[in-house]
Structure formats: C-alpha cells, structure tokens
Chains A and B, each alone.
Chain A
Amino acid sequence: MNNPFSYKAYKRQVIGGVIAVFVICVAAIFLFNIHGYNTPYGAPWDIGSAAFFPGLIALLLAVLGIFSLISQWQKNDKTAQAKPVVNKSPSKVVISYCFITLITLALPWLGIWLTAMIIVPALSLCFGERRWKMLLLLSVLPPFIIIHLFEDVMGIYFPTGVFF
C-alpha cells in the first residue's frame, strides 16, 4: 500500500468484492423466498411450478457471485492498476443522486412545477453553473417547455401537488 496505484487497485478490489457479496445476497434472498416455509411458489424442482425457473436462475446467480468473489481476490495488482479511474468526485455523484431521488419521489406532493423548478437548476449547479441569471432562466424555461409539451400537446397530466 505504499503508492497511490496499489491503494486504488486495493480499493477497486474491495468494491468488486462488495458487489460480488451483494450479488450473492440477492440470489440468496430469491432462493430463501423460493425454498422458504411451505414453498410458496410450488416445488422448486417441479417443471410445472412457478418456482422452477427463478429457482434455477437464482442458483446460477449465486454460483456466479461466488466465482466473482473468488476472482476478485485472485486478481493481481497489475490488472487493477491498468484500469483508468474515471470517477473523480464520487461524493458529488452520491449527493446528486440522493437529491434527485428525494425530489423525484416527492413529485406527488411537490407537484410537477415545483419539482421541475427545483431539480433543473439544482442539477445545473452540480454541473458547475454559477451564474444566478442562468439558473433563474433554467428554473423557468425548460420546465415551461417540457411540461407544456406533455400536458398541452400530448394530453398527459402530472400531479399538481399539495401546494397548488
């Protein structure tokens, strides 16, 4: 761990391992559900049952996850070092993603206008836009065009929210 390259390789290996464990967990959840109490979807090895196909695929996924986990730890540092590190600011992505999720899921309460007028300039800020006039313009013009396109041209109506 003396140089930054080996640290990056190690970090990449750990993230790869975590994803492999996540894959195994997903497969295990499906398998647990299929083989669970009273086998809710029928006998997993019965061709006619609803459990047959997902059982087979979940088992395959679990095996692949285990292989992936093993291969992560067998990887040598040179292979990992060769990978370019594309992501420069993961915290910015996490914050943006959480914000997008929050505002998007709050659409029924905020309404489409408020959602659009918040999310467009906020994302623009994430992309480095700092001119307040531009941000103001972005909070009005794209929502106006896009919402009118959907509502007036295509007849698709969005929730107005609790504030209007």
Chain B
Amino acid sequence: MARSVRRRRRGGIAAFILRRLLLGGVVLVLVSVVVFVATQALGDPARAILGRDATPERLAALRAQLGLNSSVFTQYVDWVGGLLRGSLGNSLAAQQPVSELLGSRLVNSLVLVSCAAVVSIPLSIAVGSWAALRRDRLFDSMSMTLMLVLAAVPEFVVALLLVIALATTVLHVFPAISPVPPGQRPWDHPTVLVLPTAALVMGVAPYVARIMRASMIEVLESDFVEMARLKGLPERLVLLRHALPNALGPVFQVIAISLAYLAGGVVVVEYVFNYPGIGSALQDAVVNHDVPVVQALAMLIAAVYVVLNLLADVATILVTPRLRTRL
C-alpha cells in the first residue's frame, strides 16, 4: 500500500473517517444521478415499457402515471426523496411496491452472499499465506495457476461446469437448480445453496488469494519480520503476531471489492441456478423493462459497493500498524 501513504493526513483517525464518509456521500449522490440519467432521462421509459407499437393514449397515460411530464429535476428529486423514505416506487410488471417484491429476495441473496463470503475469505487468506510461505514450490505454483484460471473464466461458466460435474452429467450429488418455494427460506433446503456458493467462492477467491500471497511475500521480506526473527521469537509468533496483521492491510481493500463484486456476480449465478434472489430479479426486470425495479437494484448494488469500500478504507487504517502511525 505504498500509494496509500503517499499523502499524509492530518487530524488523526476521526478526521480521516469523517473525510471518507463525506467523500462516500458525494459518490453516492453522483451514482444516483448516473442511475437516474441512464434509466429515465436518456430515453423514454414509457416507450421502453410498452414497446414500439404502443398507442399514443396509452403512452400518455403511462407517462402521467410515472410522473414523466414534470421537469427532469423534479423527477430526480421525487425519486431520491422516495429512496430516502424507503419507498422505491411500484414495479410495473408485477404492479406491487418494489420493496415488497424485493424484500424476501434480498434476504435470499444476503444468505447466498454471506455463505460465499464466510467460505471464501478464510479459504483465500489461508491459500494465499500458505503459497507465500511455500513460495516457488509445488503448492505455490499449483494454487496460483488454479487461481489465475478461475480469475479468467466468467463465473457463469464456472457455475455451469460445476453443474455438469456435480449435478447433471458426471455425478449427481447436488441439485442442478436451486429454487426456493415462496414463504420458505434457503436454509430450509441447505443443499440448494451448495453449488451457487461454490461458484461465487471460485469467482472471488482468486483475487483475495493472489493479493494475500503478494502482500505476505512483501511482509516476509521486510525488516521488521527479520528483526522479529533475529530477536529469537518462535516462527509461529513471527508469522501470527508480526507478519499476518501487516499483510492483512491491503487484503481488506480487495476483500471489500470482492464482496462488492459478489453483489454483481450474484446476478448471473442466481440466474444459472434459478435462485430467487435480487440477481435473478434484476435479470427479470431488465428483460421486462421494469424501470423502477432496475433503478432500485442498481442503486442498491452501487450503494453496497460504496459502503463496502468505505469500511475497507477504515479497516485498513485500523488494522495496519504501519499506516496508523502515519495518520
């Protein structure tokens, strides 16, 4: 993280966190403008919804219903005001409030993403650290080649290869699709979570593992680790007390980006498995031109991304002793 300490900050941790919060707020506002402009101001949502051969009367009626006749600025303020009050508008396809439509799907997606995070983060930190300790030996080269391959292949292709290997064609161990009946929760059917989780883990682990390895190598070569060794500390203490905490700093950033990446990755993976989360809802909404749902989900996913990055920045500072002293 040489770059992160280039500009030295004044005012201590509290001021730093405040600055980051403000910047995050600015980014969120700009993101909402992008979402709004992309979905509402650039084109004609009414025409997108009704299709090319809609009658002028129906178009006019829908425009009035969507509030498209007021100025763009008023529309934007109304929309953001609704977002802040938690009212996300009505789904055009389902004719029910977006929040009702997405509520249970949000829980389902959170369950899936949490499973993926809980498995992938410790796993990739362990793989990355072990590869760094065994640098240039068999485990290192094998695991890093595997990570390179997994990072390159799109997650839906990985997901489908898992389906072919473990569900439909080679072995028949897990279900090929993961529907959750309405009114039930994914944890009522734990086996449906296995393959989607595995696919997301394989999509995210490479990034964390590779940065962990690189960071660990850098730390293991540093003076303070050598110092700790020269003091005669047992190797276990050198690694756990001195090397690991310092190596984890840069990894927090990548973990946050990976979690945000999970928010995007679920779109395709949920669709592969027919899993009823926000990802498959987004695919549905895009196919049906359901603008309010697309807006709400785009905003939600972008907000998750911004907040995770914010947390990562703060966590990086708090966890890395080197950076803390330079604030």
Partners in one complex: no
B contact set with A: CB distance below 8 Å = none
A contact set with B: CB distance below 8 Å = none
